[in-house]
Each structure stands twice: as structure tokens, then as C-alpha cells.
Amino acid sequence: MSTCHLEPEIYYYTFGCHEPALCIHSGDTVMTETRDCYGYDAECNPIPEYMKHQVLGMMLKESNPVVGPIYVEDTEPGDLLAVNIQRIRLNRDFALSQQGPNFGSLTGERPGHNLLYNDPIRTVWYEWKLDLERHVGTLELPNSRMKHVEVPLNPFIGTIGVAPRFGRVEMTLTPGEYGGNMDCPETCEGTTLYLPVWADGAYLSFGDVHALQGDGEIIGTIDDCGHRNSDFFLREAVSHGGIVVARDWQPFVLDYLFLLQQSPFDFGFVSDGQSRRGSSSVGH
């Protein structure tokens, strides 16, 4: 077992069998830094063009850039990848949240798919101050009755997954049987995340670390956080964890709000701890 430091050269916007950024073995620990969902680092610098995932003749959705992929030696389809999230450390003193139009389950809308007679909600950005010593976030709301909001932080990895089955490539903004943009607050420090392996090497990637979120992102990028729908998006995080491979597995699953974001592919999430199909899941 060894500890590996991942220095990203390319930030990817899709999950798939991309050129591995790192090759490891079962039981190894990986340490790295991530960008936020907008691509900014700790100093608010955007991703340079030469470090962005690009596909010739195609425009990618530049959301939720992930580091990796990490190729896990000797893994093969049918294995279960157990990712132990040992530590997540926030390394800046503010984070952003946003409410915006045509996005999220409360509206049922998206660009080019308008359902409501009224105008979409306007875009509003919120800047949260993070007290990393007290482990709380605060937001000033001078025009509200509360005026000031303070909530405890709970950092977690919003987007983490492996190469999808059947040789597909999926954008990092969506969830699926490969994991992906699950935005599950339980994917935090001390959790072991179990992901089914669909390709030799698994091709694990992750990013989009949140400083805090409620159960689900009900208006797309944010969720309940005290006063109204709000979500911390961390600018950058330092995280590392151990990776273990298991075979002949029966995944442990949770009954979670993630069901509301189900894609055409079945996840098999049920409340009795039994899996009906291959699923991505988390467990402490």
C-alpha cells in the first residue's frame, strides 16, 4: 500500500475511459486538490484552456470539472470499488451559491423547455463567508427578516464516479449507475462509497466538493440551508482516501432522495438494503 499524489494536467467534463492521470493498486491512498463546479481554484483562477478537457469538433458542458481518471490495477467488470474518503479539508474562506432560471426540479424547466407562463426566476449569487476554525458558514441577508444566517459546515464530494457501462461517456453534471453528480451529503469524510466497475481499471474521477448542502439540490445548484434554498460550493478542496477492490459483491444501498434525480438507467435503490440491479451507493 502506498500514498500517491495526483497533480491534475487535464480537468475532465465527462466520465469515461480517458487517458489515466494516475495508476494505483487496491489499498493505495490518493491525495489531490480539486476545482469548484465553475472551474476556479483557491485563488479564483479559472482553468487554463490547455488544461480543459476538449473533444475535436464538439462543445462540452464546462461544469463540475473532475480530477482523474484514476486507473485501479487488476479491476475488471463485475468488481466493486470501495472508496474510503479519509479526509476533506476546505482551503479558502468563502464559497458561492446561486439560484437561477430554467434549472432544477422545482421549476421542471431547462433552457429551451419552458413550462410556466410567468418569467423565470432571476439569477442571484450569494457569497458565503467560511470560518474554517469554527467550521461554520455565514451569509448576510440585509433585506430579509433574519438579516444573518450561520450554519455548520459539512464538506462532501458532489461528483464522483467511474467509467459508465457499455462503453458510454457521460457528462459530469449527471448521475447514473456509474455514480456521477450524485450531490449526496453522505459522501463525506469517514464514508466508504461503493461503485460497480464497468471497465477494466474502473477509471475513477471526482470533483465538485461542497462545503454544505441539504438533502438534494431542489433548484438545481442549491438546497435548503437555513433561510432559503442555498448551497455551499467550495472553490477548492484537498482530499485523500483509500481505494479497495472487492469481488463477488452484493452492494449496500441507501434509501435516498437521489431517487428523485433518477436517470433512464435504474439504480436499484431500495430501503431494505437489497439491490435489484447494479447500483452506485454509499455507506458509513
Q: Which pLDDT score, from 0 to 100, does residue 116 have?
A: 62
- For residue 144, pLDDT beyond 50: yes
Nearest to 96 by CA among 43, 133, 139, 131: 139
Burial class (CB in 10 A: 0-12, 13-18, 19+), 270: middle
Which residues does residue 24 pair with via DSSP β-bridges, in sequence order? 72
Q: Which pLDDT score, from 0 to 100, does residue 257 have?
A: 31
| Alpha-carbon distance values, 70 to 32, 107, 151, 216, 237 (Å) | 11, 36, 34, 27, 18
Residue listed under C-alpha cell 477492490: 245
Could you tell me the three cell numbers for 62?
Answer: 464546462
Confidence (pTM): 0.76
- For residue 16, pLDDT beyond 50: yes
Q: Between 276 and 89, where is the model more confident?
A: 89
Q: What percent of the chain has pLDDT over 90?
A: 28
Q: What letter would DSSP give residue 144? A: S
Q: Could you give the domains of the chain?
A: 3-283 (2.60.120.580)
Q: How far is CA 87 from the centre of its chain?
A: 15
CA–CA gap between residue 19 and residue 202 (Å, rounded): 12
Give backbone dihedrals phi and psi of 211, rounded to 5 degrees, phi first: -85, -25
Contact 159, 207 (CB under 8 A): yes
Contact 137, 129 (CB under 8 A): yes
Instruction: Express each pLDDT in 39-73 by its tens digit.
Output: 888 888 899 999 999 988 888 988 899 999 999 99
